[in-house]
Every structure is written in structure tokens, then in C-alpha cells.
């Protein structure tokens, strides 16, 4: 894709990020307009994925209900739609990145095919690699890409209601990589609000550097094309856990922050002890890989200020101090639970920084400068 194919209609305009639990109960959604004439969709912002897809007609095998997230995109109704051929560079690059074990081509119509998995491998999208015009931002007044490459999903297994997933990972096929080629500075910033009544933001390009900004080196994860940090230390209720520097991938498409088993077990011990004077004891209602607590009367928890504070410290001393509402949540079915999960649930040694612990924190992926930045109280 040439840089001339992307236009900035208003480069300083932030893009609204929306939280709608009736569509997706943990991810944040971005409005896009796809095709000519444009079709409005809400898509999930996912830094844990290197790929973008939308559900497409005719839904050859299966499409999910995406009520509230826009119409299912129909390529036949778009004048600017085009298929990506099997011999195209974009096809070969994507198939290599996704490590497809078969010749992913529909030779009869020269269509490149893809297959992408999500979550713990239990969700997937299968379809054709295509290109079309896309506009991002309020009323499309943000960025316009006439030849945006994405997956046109014809079969999907997914339990959320957005129109699609837009990957912001470290690969040429990601949304960020396709936009980053023309912006003034290769970075993107966002803030996910903790208050459901507030709107978050996404901005692409250069960002505000002020005294409240903390930095840590940003790099591409060793085994996946996504961005990662080095987690140096975890402190809970004033107690420093015994840890060693380890890779932590930043995944806005994940609800949970995943820790290695050794770290998780220590955190569990500290939190369990801290909650005991509040009358809350450990339960296994969500299994051994989650931390949940209940009191004898099963009352609704309200004393948030009494909860232990958790701090995550990264390479070069950048520290993320979590508000109690960023570490814990309460539901009538599970009681008081943390947003932390043991790595055994998704794969030993894997660590993720999920979106729940960074809410109300301004975050920047400074790809050009090779660093990750965050600012307290940004939204």
C-alpha cells in the first residue's frame, strides 16, 4: 500500500471509543465506515491481534447477530470492494504470519483465504482476504484508507456482538500498521474509561508528553506479533512479591491480566490475608485460576477503599498503581473477584496486561520511539 492511499481529513481529531455491555461485556469499540456507500460498524480494538476482519454477506456458513453494532457488510453493494488474489504479496505475507497449514486459495475466483483464531483458540474467523475503503472517526472525519486490507468473514465462532475485531498488533496486516505509514509520528494512544457513562478516545500519531507520563521499553513479543513490556515487580498491600523480569504482552482484547503461576500464587496469598478482616474468604466459584471471595451473608461489596492496592512495575521503573476498581469487581454470581488470572488458564509462561487494569489510564504505544507510556487519570 502506498502512502498516497491514506488521507488524514483531521489528524488531531480523537476517535471515540465506546463501551456497550449489550454488545461486548469487556472490550472497547471503535466506529468505522466501510465500503462505498459506507456501512457503519462498531469494531473491537484489540492490541492482542495482528489482523482485522468484519462479518460479510452472504455468511456462507455462519455469522453472529451484531444487532446494535451496524449492518453486516455486503461486498456486492460496495463499488470500491476488491478481492485479494492468491499470488498477491498481501496474501502471502498474511498466510505466513498466520502460519496457515494449507494452500489458502480459492483458485476458481482467485481469492486469498484466511483463518484466524482468538481467545484461547476456542473462537475463530474464516473467510477471504479483501480490500475496500474505510473511514475512521466521528462521521468518518479521522482517517480514510481507500485500499484497507481486511478479512471478509464467512464463518465465525465468537460469543460477543460487535461487527468485527480490528487488530492493533505488530504486523503489516494490523489496523495500526496500515494507518501508521502516513501519520506524523508512529504511535497510537487511547484511554478506556472506568465509568460506563463516559466515552474513551483513540488517537493516532504524536502524543502529549507531560510530567505525569511514565515510560517503559516497548518491543515485539517473542512468540506472537503483538507488543510487549518487561514486568519487573509486583507489589500488593505494601508487600513486594518475589518475581523476576519477564515478558508481558499488552492485550486490549483481554479482560483479565494474566500472571505466571508463581506470581499469581503469591498475590493470592497477600490478597486473601488482606480480605480476611473484611469478612471475605476465598472461594473456588471460578476455579483455581481466578481469585474470588465471599462473606457469610453474600452481601453486595461496597467498601472499595478498604481493598489492598496492587502495583505493577516495569523496566526502567515505570509503575502502574491500580485503583481498587481496576483490580477487583463484584458480581452477584461470583462475589468479589480480582481481574488477575493464573497463566495455566491459557498457557504456562504467558503473561497479559488486560484492559480492565488500565481503565482511566492514558496509554501510548510509541512504536517509533520504542517505548510504552501511561498517564494517570486521563479519562
CATH pick for 213-375 out of 2.40.70.10, 1.10.3720.10, 2.160.20.10, 3.40.1160.10:
2.40.70.10
Please report, to the nearest 10 degrees, the dihedral formed by the alpha carbons of residues 315, 318, 319, 320 taken in order: -100
Give 121 or 111, the one with higher predicted confidence: 111
Judged against a pLDDT cut of 70, whether residue 10 lies above it is answered with: no
Per-residue pLDDT band at 236 (split at 50, 70, 90): very high
**CA contacts within 13 A on the Cβ side of 85:** 3
Residue 102 has pLDDT above 60, yes or no: no
What mean pLDDT comes out for the span 177-189? 87
Q: What is the pTM of this model?
A: 0.90
Using H for helix, E for strand and C for coil, what is the string for the chain? CCHHHCEECCCCCCEEEECCCCCCCCCCEEEEEECCCCEEEEEEEECCCCCEEEEECCCCCCCCCCCCCECCECHHHCCCCEECCCCCHHHHHHHHHHCCCCCCEECCCCEEEEEEEECCCCEEEEEEEEEEEEEECHHHCCEEEEEEEEEEEEEEECCCCCCEEEECCCCCCCHHHHHHCCCCCCEEEEECCCCCCCCEEEEECCCCCCCCEEEEECEECCCCCCEEEEEEEEEECCEECCCCCEEEEECCCCCCEEECHHHHHHHHHHHHHHHHHHCCEEECCCCCCEEEEECCCCCCCCCHHHCCCEEEEEHHHCEEEECHHHHEEEECCCEEEEEEEEHHHCCCCCCEECCHHHCCCEEEEECCCCEEEEECCCC
What confidence tens digit (pLDDT) does each residue in 313-332 have?
999 989 999 989 999 999 99
pLDDT at 258 over 60: yes
Domain 3-183 has CATH 2.40.30.20: no
> How many residues in total does the chain contain?
379
Mean pLDDT, rounded, for 43-60:
92
Q: What is the pLDDT of residue 9?
A: 44
Counting residues of the chain whose pLDDT is more than 70, the rounded percentage is 92
Specify the domain boundaries for CATH 2.40.70.10 within the chain.
3-183, 213-375
| Strand 39-46 with 164-167, pairing | parallel
Amino acid at each position: 500500500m502506498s502512502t498516497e492511499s491514506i488521507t488524514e481529513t483531521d489528524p488531531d481529531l480523537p476517535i471515540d471509543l465506546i463501551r456497550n455491555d449489550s454488545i461486548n461485556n469487556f472490550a472497547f469499540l471503535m466506529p468505522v465506515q466501510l465500503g462505498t456507500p459506507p456501512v457503519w460498524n462498531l469494531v473491537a480494538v484489540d492490541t492482542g491481534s495482528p489482523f482485522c476482519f468484519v462479518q460479510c454477506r452472504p455468511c456462507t456458513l455462519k455469522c453472529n447477530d451484531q444487532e446494535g453494532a451496524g449492518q453486516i457488510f455486503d461486498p456486492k453493494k460496495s463499488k470500491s470492494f476488491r478481492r485479494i488474489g492468491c499470488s498477491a504479496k498481501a496474501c502471502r505475507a498474511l498466510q505466513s504470519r498466520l502460519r496457515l497449514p494449507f494452500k489458502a486459495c480459492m483458485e476458481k475466483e482467485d481469492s486469498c483465504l484466511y483463518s484466524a483464531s482468538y481467545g484461547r483458540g476456542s473462537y475463530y474467523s474464516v473467510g477471504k482476504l479483501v480490500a475496500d475503503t474505510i473511514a475512521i472517526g466521528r462521521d468518518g472525519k479521522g482517517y480514510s484508507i481507500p485500499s484497507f486490507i481486511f478479512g471478509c468473514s464467512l464463518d465465525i465462532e465468537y460469543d460477543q456482538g460487535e461487527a468485527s475485531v480490528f487488530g492493533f498488533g505488530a504486523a503489516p496486516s494490523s489496523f495500526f500498521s496500515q494507518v501508521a505509514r502516513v501519520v506524523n509520528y508512529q504511535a497510537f494512544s487511547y484511554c478506556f474509561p472506568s465509568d460506563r457513562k463516559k466515552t474513551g478516545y483513540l488517537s493516532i500519531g504524536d502524543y502529549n508528553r507531560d510530567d505525569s507520563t511514565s515510560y517503559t521499553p516497548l518491543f515485539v513479543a517473542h512468540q506472537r506479533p503483538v507488543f510487549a513490556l518487561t514486568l519487573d515487580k509486583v507489589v500488593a498491600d505494601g508487600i513486594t512479591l518475589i518475581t523476576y523480569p519477564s515478558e508481558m504482552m499488552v492485550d486490549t482484547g483481554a479482560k483479565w491480566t494474566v500472571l505466571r503461576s508463581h506470581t499469581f500464587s503469591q498475590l493470592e496469598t497477600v490478597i486473601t490475608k488482606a480480605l480476611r478482616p473484611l469478612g471475605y474468604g476465598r472461594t473456588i466459584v471460578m476455579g483455581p485460576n481466578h481469585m474470588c471471595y465471599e462473606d457469610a451473608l453474600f452481601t453486595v461489596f461496597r467498601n472499595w477503599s478498604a481493598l489492598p492496592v496492587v502495583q505493577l512495575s516495569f523496566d526502567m521503573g515505570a509503575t502502574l498503581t491500580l485503583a481498587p476498581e481496576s483490580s477487583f469487581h463484584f458480581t452477584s454470581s461470583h462475589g468479589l473477584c480480582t481481574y488477575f488470572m493464573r497463566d495455566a488458564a491459557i498457557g504456562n509462561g504467558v503473561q497479559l496486561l488486560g484492559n480492565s487494569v488500565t481503565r482511566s489510564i492514558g496509554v501510548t504505544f510509541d512504536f517509533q520511539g520504542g517505548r510504552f507510556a501511561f498517564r494517570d487519570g486521563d479519562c
